[in-house]
Amino acid sequence: GEDVEQSLFLSVREGDSSVINCTYTDSSSTYLYWYKQEPGAGLQLLTYIFSNMDMKQDQRLTVLLNKKDKHLSLRIADTQTGDSAIYFCAEKGDSNYQLIWGAGTKLIIKP
């Protein structure tokens, strides 16, 4: 079946940029998403990118998509303590509305 992979942890210093990476296998992927989950809470849709786009920027967030390599990244500029969370990558194929989820990357902010 289709798969989405992420590294489990990322540690960055406050003020630096964070880059969270994700790879996926579904060549028919139409939308790719980044969700944020804070401890004990549900998921918040941060941003998404359509598969025919290479980049999307939204304030401190930049999403890069390399469709050839099936690689997605989320860059958070000027990382703050409030950015501490687990970030999930997810993709949607073209056949239904179910999402395929990565395992989540825990972002740890060092002072």
Partner 1 sequence: GAVVSQHPSWVICKSGTSVKIECRSLDFQATTMFWYRQFPKQSLMLMATSNEGSKATYEQGVEKDKFLINHASLTLSTLTVTSAHPEDSSFYICSARSSGSHEQYFGPGTRLTVT
CB 62 within 8 A of CB 47: no
87 counts as binding partner 1 under rule CB under 8 A: no
- Pairwise CA distance, residues 32 & 100, whole Å: 10
Output the smallest distance, CB 22 to partner 1, in A: 12
23 counts as binding partner 1 under rule CB under 8 A: no
Which is closer to partner 1, CB of 25 or CB of 44? Answer: 44
44 counts as binding partner 1 under rule CB under 8 A: yes
Give the helix, strand, coil percentages of the chain, each rounded to 5.
5, 55, 40
DSSP-assigned states of every residue in 36-52: EE-TT--EEEEEEEETT
95 counts as binding partner 1 under rule CB under 8 A: no
Contact footprint for partner 1 (CB under 8 A): 30-31, 35, 40-45, 48, 88, 92, 97-99, 101-104
